[in-house]
Amino acid sequence: MLRTDFLVIGSGIAGLNFAIKTAKRFPDQTITILTKVNTDETNTKYAQGGIAVVNDREKDSFQKHIEDTLVAGDGLCNQKVVEIVVNEGPERVEEMIDLGTQFDKDIEGDFLRGKEGGHSEYRILHHKDITGFEMERALVEEVAKYPNINIHNHWFVIDIITQHHLGYLVTKSTPNIECYGVYALNLQTNEIEKILSKITVMASGGTGQAYRTTTNPKIATGDGIAMFYRAKGRIENMEFIQFHPTALYQAGVSPSFLITEAVRGDGGILRNKEGEAFMQRYDPRADLAPRDIVARAIDNEMKRTGTESIFLDCRHMELEKFKAHFPNIYDKCMSVGIDVMKNMIPVAPAAHYCCGGIKVDEIGRSSITNLYACGECSSTGLHGANRLASNSLLEALVFAHRCSEDAATRIDKLQFNDAIPDWNASGTNDPQEMILITQSLKELQLIMSDYVGIVRNNVRLERAMRRIDLLHEETETLYRTTTASPQLLELRNLITIGFLIVKGAQFRKESRGLHYNTDFPEKAEMLQNIVL
């Protein structure tokens, strides 16, 4: 059994940031970070394009960034949250610079700023095309300086502990559900441990692995959102799954390698099989329209021309400039036989970002008491129906800070709950056949990609739900009778994520942002967040 004042689930930008701020403020309190693989294996590490922030107030303005975010969000952003994130962003980014994060500069020492879809200005700070890698590096190095932060790698959090574990009936309408910690599978000992905490922060990242084709690494299985839903917390807007328009097309390869939108910001052009630069036909902003529009246009072009990919044309770009900004992409393309100066890059949309998640307020508080959420697993209201490119790293920084500030005002009043029982693993045996798990995962990913992708309709959603119900039933039986393993736990969580996406999509009787249903092609008059 472990006891910790602050428990952080996840070691990406959100979790590490919270931990550092809290450790600095409370040198005598313990902060424990649990992560299911190595510390730096996170979505954060793979972020390419950069972080959107207004730090040149001569050319850019807070108002423009706010406006761009609201336009991309297609009517569903919470304006107050947008203003908070945009206005507080520069200070949070400055703190990352103080920690040693290197953002690219020109020879005069001014920041180089990139542009991506939906941005009216060049405002994206970046470290070549590996911004996330650089930010994660700086954070991991900083965390190591605090003796009161303990990182436990290879600890798989299974469930949030609430009154349910004390034998009380907890439902969605229970007025004050409290979090007392978590149960986690220690993958070194294979024991399920009880971890008691006063404050818990969910920073468990995204859900991309629910789809067959995704830019997200294997860890992105929506665990935090799924366990929060099981604990009867409020989840919202899960139907808004963002597909990145330009993942490198390589049949059968998963995760897909991303070709950052910043390439289009620097002049890359999308072309269809016939060589046509088609984006102008879909939107006056052409290749730099918001992501929902570009991904849908590509999907349409692929269906129209019967192809599995379209192309990103960089042949007119300057080699030296390309290599300076996108060295990783240049090398990756070369390694698979694509010389970007001679060949167009085959690209296709891939599941990329979960705009919904654990519903939180303006300071990151979820509907479960003493449980905060920040980063991709949370739904703050910033993204609305479609996230503006490069706003998620910023959101994670701003909300990790806000969670830390609020938690600091409450920690002294909280106690551990020592009545929590140990995990009960009776009645479970080692799995007979792993194929039951691996095959179900493949099925789920196919269902989600085929029926709940960029374009949806009622029949497809119904069909997806029926199949997910069956997978759910089979997997719950397996879960009750089989020793817990990361594979089984992730499958179970991804099935819940699939269910939440389909349920949200079925409730939303309109097309807005990332959710496009051909049976309801118009926007509804009433603005609505779907809360499950």
What tokens appear for 342 in the block?
């001679």
Q: How many Å apart are CA 403 and CA 14, to the nearest integer?
A: 10
Query: Given its phi and psi angles, is residue 338 left (phi above 0), alpha (psi -120 to 50 degrees) or beta?
Result: beta
Q: Tell me the DSSP string of 403-449.
A: HHHHHHHHGGG----TTPPPP--TT-B--S-THHHHHHHHHHHHHHH
338 lies in the site for ligand SIN, by CB under 6 A: no
The interface with ligand SIN within residues 385-444 (CB under 6 A) comprises 389-390, 392
211 lies in the site for ligand FAD, by CB under 6 A: no
Stretch that binds ligand FAD, among 75-83, 218-226, 474-482, 522-530 (CB under 6 A): 218-226
Q: Which of 32, 44, 48, 237 binds ligand SIN (CB under 6 A)?
A: 48
Q: Smaller CB distance to ligand FAD: residue 203 or 298?
A: 203
CB of 347 to ligand SIN, least distance (A): 11
Instruction: Give me the catalytic one of 291, 296, 365, 512.
Output: 291
3-state helix, strand, coil in the chain (%, to 5): 40, 20, 45
Residue with token string 């994660």: 136
Q: Tell me the DSSP string of 458-491.
A: HHHHHHHHHHHHHHHHHHHHHHHHB---HHHHHH
12 binding partner (options ligand SIN, ligand FAD, none; Cβ < 5 to 8 Å by kind) = ligand FAD
Asked if the bond preceding 349 is cis, omega within 30° of 0, the reply is no
Please confirm, yes or no, whether 315 is among the known catalytic residues: no
The CA–CA distances, whole Å, from 380 to 46, 137, 368 equal 22, 26, 15
CB of 261 to ligand SIN, least distance (A): 3
453 lies in the site for ligand FAD, by CB under 6 A: no
Q: How many Å apart are CA 483 and CA 464, to the nearest integer?
A: 28
Question: Counting beta carbons within 10 angstroms of the beta carbon of residue 323, is it exposed (0 to 12), middle (13 to 18) or buried (19 or more)?
Answer: middle
For ligand SIN, which residue has the nearest CB? 49
Stretch that binds ligand FAD, among 106-114, 163-171, 286-294, 387-395 (CB under 6 A): 387-395
Q: Decide if 468 contacts 199 (C-beta within 8 A).
A: no
CB of 49 to ligand SIN, least distance (A): 3
Site string for ligand SIN, 350-389 (x = CB under 6 A): ---x-----------------------------------x
298 lies in the site for ligand SIN, by CB under 6 A: no
Q: How many Å apart are CA 252 and CA 23, to the nearest integer?
A: 43
19 CB-near residues (< 8 Å, 6+ apart):
6, 8, 31, 33, 143, 146, 149
Binding residues for ligand SIN, how many (CB under 6 A)?
10
14 binding partner (options ligand FAD, ligand SIN, none; Cβ < 5 to 8 Å by kind) = ligand FAD
Q: Smaller CB distance to ligand FAD: residue 51 or 70?
A: 51
73 lies in the site for ligand FAD, by CB under 6 A: no
Q: Decide if 209 contacts 316 (C-beta within 8 A).
A: no
Q: Which of 32, 215, 370, 517 binds ligand FAD (CB under 6 A)?
A: 215
47 lies in the site for ligand FAD, by CB under 6 A: yes
Q: Which of 73, 114, 132, 498 binds ligand FAD (CB under 6 A)?
A: 132
212 CB-near residues (< 8 Å, 6+ apart):
254, 442, 445, 446, 448, 449
CB of 101 to ligand SIN, least distance (A): 16
Q: Which of 5, 12, 114, 453 binds ligand FAD (CB under 6 A)?
A: 12
Terminus-to-terminus CA distance in the chain, angstroms? 32
Q: Supply angle C-alpha 388, 389, 393, rounded to 5.
A: 100
Coil/strand/helix, residue 383: coil
Q: Which of 68, 236, 239, 261 binds ligand SIN (CB under 6 A)?
A: 261
Residues in contact with ligand SIN by the rule CB under 6 A = 48-49, 116, 260-262, 353, 389-390, 392
Active site residues: 291
Residues in contact with ligand FAD by the rule CB under 6 A = 9-15, 34-37, 42-44, 46-51, 131-132, 155-157, 203-206, 215-216, 219, 223-224, 258, 353, 375-376, 390-393, 396
